[in-house]
Amino acid sequence: MTHTSPRLALTLTAVSVMVATNFIGAATAHAEEKPSVPPGTEATATAPVEVDPNDPDLKLPEGATLAEAKVLDIKQVVEDQSGDERREDTNADVKFALQAEVLFPKDSAKLNGEAKARIAAIAEEIKTQNATKIRVFGFTDNLGSSAHGDVLSKQRANAVEDILKSELNDPNITYEVRGYGEQYPIASNTTEASRKKNRRVEVSFPRSEN
């Protein structure tokens, strides 16, 4: 029987853009707290839309003024059907997340045979974006000691960095490599399926302005 590759089945997450139009002195809704993210990966969109506060079409209440306008990042997420690989695009950055199982044996930082091809594909996108600053962050689930997870996640991030350096061979590129262990989970850690999502290595870099 022939099976269709799960990598051909991609799921596109909704894209959202928001412009702040709250009025000072008027009732405002409170947004949910943003999830924790590793330092240096926060949203960075800074392109406020110019709005004329005197435009009669705004129909501001008497005495009210416009709050500062903000534009949030546009985020597009593409994930293969198996969940082994995910790509996130914003207007500022590109991020790839690879589950540890497709890169390493269990509880190991030694890359397997499939890993180089996956990392090489990311390197090609880095070339396309002309990126010169790359972050490689490792993460684990919450099983085992926190100290072990910190060490293993850093070792795995280092292993991915080594392949990227080999593929890119560019002395102008700088790397930020960290191991966060069980910090910053993207799933609950209550089931094996959710823990699998948390065992990952993320590679992120700025998008080209061109």
pLDDT, tens digit (0-9, with 9 covering 90-100), for 93-110? 999 999 999 999 999 999
Is the overall model pTM greater than 0.75, yes or no?
no
Give the closest residue to 161 by CA, choosing from 197, 122, 194: 122
Q: In the beta sheet, which residues pair with residue 135?
A: 176, 204
For the stretch 145-193, pLDDT in tens is 999 999 999 999 999 999 999 999 999 999 999 999 999 999 999 999 9
Confidence of residue 43 (pLDDT cuts 50, 70, 90): low
How many beta carbons lie within 10 A of that of residue 78, not counting itself?
13
pLDDT score at 188: 92
Give the per-residue pLDDT at 161: 98
pLDDT value at position 51?
Answer: 72
101: which residues sit within 8 A by CB, 6+ positions away?
A: 84, 196, 199
What does the block give as tokens for 191?
A: 């089931």
